[in-house]
Structure 1
Amino acid sequence: MAFKNPLHRFSCDAILDMIAYAQEQTGHKSIGLLAGTNFRPSTFLDVGQAFISAESLRHALKVNAKYQRLTQQFGQTGLDVDRKSARVTWTPYIEDPERLRPITEAVYAGYVSIGRWLLWHYNEDALVVYFRHSKPCDPDPCAEYFGCEIKYDQPFDCLEFKAGLADVALPQANPELLKTLESRLDRALKNLENLDRMTNQVHQCILYSLGQMPVNIVDIARSLGYSPQVMTRGLKDEGSSFRGILQEVRRQNAEFYLKANRKSLADIALALGYSDQTAFTRAYRGWHGVPPSQTLPAS
């Protein structure tokens, strides 16, 4: 049931135990690195979309710092830039560097992978990487991926890259879309901080599920561990309803999809859970008084 509930959070210790078990069973000593090399902005849903829409890497890392709690609970990243280099720092909440090694390597491999993707500089290497943990094996897969010197057994974790890259304009920057995303992410943070409210649980679960699976009161209630009757009563006590929350999420998602301008109206209708484009157009007219075709960005 925990895997079906998008609001459930496994403890850091439980995640580390699962990773250690996976490494033991597979014999792969660098699972964290392997995971990080496959990270893309889409891995992190709305947070990743905000990276794409940011003005620069500096801006994207600022956005990441604000919403990092939505994607992981292991630590906090920061950025320092001077004339010589830019440094992505990692301050973990767990002191044991060896136990945390898969997470640390995943974090930094992910930043390199996503940074290359955002800049469209697919062969850009770091300058130097510092790890608190010891070198795991030889040959070193980290050195091959990062393309630079790796310093182990250091007092801190840090990745240095060219200072000039921090403020290079990102080719897909979209201030209007970012504004919409930040509104959604602010709501997600609020939901995370107030999960005792049924309304917030249902809102976040619908947001996660819409476009991936059919959304109905029975399946959402089951995902959250409630019966439909209990969930309906809880929402009523808070002055809300399943239908009202579903419509709110659909309206917000429609605004996002239209500003992103990456889907056809038919595909947007499908992603919002409507039977066809006509049903979506009817709903959109009810929200805004005009059809969605009139609010599409100019080509």
Structure 2
Amino acid sequence: MGSITSLFVRKMVAAAGEAVDGPALLASVGIDAAAPVDPKLQIADTAYYDLLERMAQQMDITALPLRTGASMRCDEYGALGLAFKAATTLQGSYARVARYARLWTSVVEYELVPDGDRSWYLLHRAGARRLGLRLSNEATLASSVALAREVSQSGSFRPLEVHIQHPAPKSLQHHEAFFGCPVRFGSDRDGLLISAEALARPNRLGDQGITAFLIGHLEQELSALSQTTSLQDRLRDAIARSLSEGLPRMEDMASRLGMSVRSLHRRLAEDGLSFQTLTEETRRDLAEGLLRDERYSLSEIAFLTGFSEQSSFTRAFKRWRGETPAQFRKRGER
């Protein structure tokens, strides 16, 4: 289970306006509507998705994530938002998010990937593509564009294309109007395709001196976060997020943790662990947790735990637990 800053929850509820009972919704996930906004207050990602799905039963949510993203401002993200604003170019801004996003969410990772004269700004989020997760992804992409427009000198930033993995809503009118470019639903990725020229454009308030100061502060926060979370837990989390893309490679996981493969291997060996064993245990634990949630089908669980076929998942689970996934789920219902 991951966590998400309460700022996102508040913003989504506020964007819904009078269509929902905002204070009651916030209270249902432990947030006091009258209390000061605290971005460091986290809630469980599953509780957030549940809340969004309850909202979808009360209103048309097609444009909700876009309104939410449009309402985001750099200053609301604390030091990370200031570092985004103070970066000298948009590329620098997005690179800050890719490195420091762990300070305000444990369920999303960002990546800036060059592609010829363009770049992909990708978001990676593990989990079944339930409605709440889909809405959250759309809001995240919308906020990424809104923040870029806030810091750009003209305020007119637009990506070349927006790619979203889940199916399209009945109408694309709201999405294309907000992003100002083609929006490709049913894609193989979630992200923005951005021109090199747009990424290199100077930010309106870019300041190298302020950036250096803020980066130092963020590095301290990131270091403190890493120290309070064991390497084993951090690696398990990274593995769990990557499983829907297939079995993770040690090289990729080491890179995500900011260390060399040799260092990761040595640290695991010191604890009497191996990467293969930890991956297997993570798959098993994730499978058991998902099987306790009836919303996930066996085929979805197989995909989310890194198996290309449900039959392969069934064989592996029987090896782990001595029973099939269906038997495990049925026994848990008794």
TM-score range, shorter chain: 0.5 to 0.7
For residue 132 of structure 1, what is the aligned residue in structure 2? 165
Amino acid at match of 1:46: A
For residue 36 of structure 1, what is the aligned residue in structure 2? 69
Note the alpha carbon deviations across 1:36-60, whole angstroms, 9 max, x for none: 1111211212101001111211111
1:116 is aligned to 2:149: yes
Ranked by relative contact order (alpha carbons within 8 Å, sequence separation 6 or more), the top structure is 1
Q: Is the 8 A contact 1:129 1:151 kept in 2?
A: yes
Name the SS for the 1:123 alignment partner: coil
Query: How many Å separate the matches in 2 of 1:7 and 1:119?
Result: 27
Name the SS for the 2:82 alignment partner: helix
Name the SS for the 1:28 alignment partner: coil
Percentage of pairs with the same residue: 20
Instruction: Tell me: CA distance 1:6–1:100, structure 2 relative to 1, closer, same or farther (3 Å).
Output: closer
Alignment of 1:58-69 (within 5 A): 58-69=91-102
Q: Is the 8 A contact 1:53 1:178 kept in 2?
A: yes
Q: Is the 8 A contact 2:49 2:131 kept in 1?
A: no
For residue 234 of structure 1, what is the aligned residue in structure 2? none
Amino acid at match of 2:160: L
Shift of residue 168, structure 1, vs aligned partner: 1.8
For residue 224 of structure 1, what is the aligned residue in structure 2? none
Alignment of 1:1-299 (within 5 A): 2-3=30-31, 7-96=40-129, 98-193=131-226
Instruction: Tell me: CA distance 1:105–1:94, structure 2 relative to 1, closer, same or farther (3 Å).
Output: same
Note the alpha carbon deviations across 1:180-210, whole angstroms, 9 max, x for none: 21232233334444569xxxxxxxxxxxxxx
Query: How many Å separate the matches in 1 of 2:89 and 2:128?
Result: 31
Name the SS for the 2:186 alignment partner: coil
Amino acid at match of 2:114: V
Amino acid at match of 2:216: S
Instruction: Tell me: CA distance 1:121–1:101, structure 2 relative to 1, closer, same or farther (3 Å).
Output: farther
Instruction: Tell me: CA distance 1:8–1:124, structure 2 relative to 1, closer, same or farther (3 Å).
Output: closer
Note the alpha carbon deviations across 1:110-130, whole angstroms, 9 max, x for none: 111111121123233221111
Instruction: Tell me: CA distance 1:7–1:64, structure 2 relative to 1, closer, same or farther (3 Å).
Output: closer
Query: How many Å separate the matches in 1 of 2:39 and 2:175?
Result: 32
Instruction: Tell me: CA distance 1:94–1:29, structure 2 relative to 1, closer, same or farther (3 Å).
Output: same
Pair member with larger Rg: 1
Q: Structure 2 unaligned segments of length 5 or more: list them.
A: 1-26, 230-334
Q: Report the TM-score when normalising by structure 2.
A: 0.53
For residue 295 of structure 2, what is the aligned residue in structure 1? none
Query: How many Å separate the matches in 2 of 1:139 and 1:152?
Result: 9
Query: How many Å separate the matches in 1 of 2:105 and 2:207?
Result: 25
Q: Is the 8 A contact 1:32 1:101 kept in 2?
A: no
Query: How many Å separate the matches in 2 of 1:119 and 1:102?
Result: 26
Aligned length: 196
For residue 255 of structure 2, what is the aligned residue in structure 1? none
Q: Is the 8 A contact 2:48 2:132 kept in 1?
A: no
Name the SS for the 1:48 alignment partner: helix
Query: How many Å separate the matches in 1 of 2:187 and 2:131?
Result: 12
Q: Structure 1 unaligned segments of length 5 or more: list them.
A: 197-299
Instruction: Tell me: CA distance 1:97–1:19, structure 2 relative to 1, closer, same or farther (3 Å).
Output: closer
Instruction: Tell me: CA distance 1:139–1:178, structure 2 relative to 1, closer, same or farther (3 Å).
Output: closer
Amino acid at match of 1:156: R
CA RMSD, Structure 1 to Structure 2 (Å): 2.4
Query: How many Å separate the matches in 2 of 1:159 and 1:148?
Result: 10
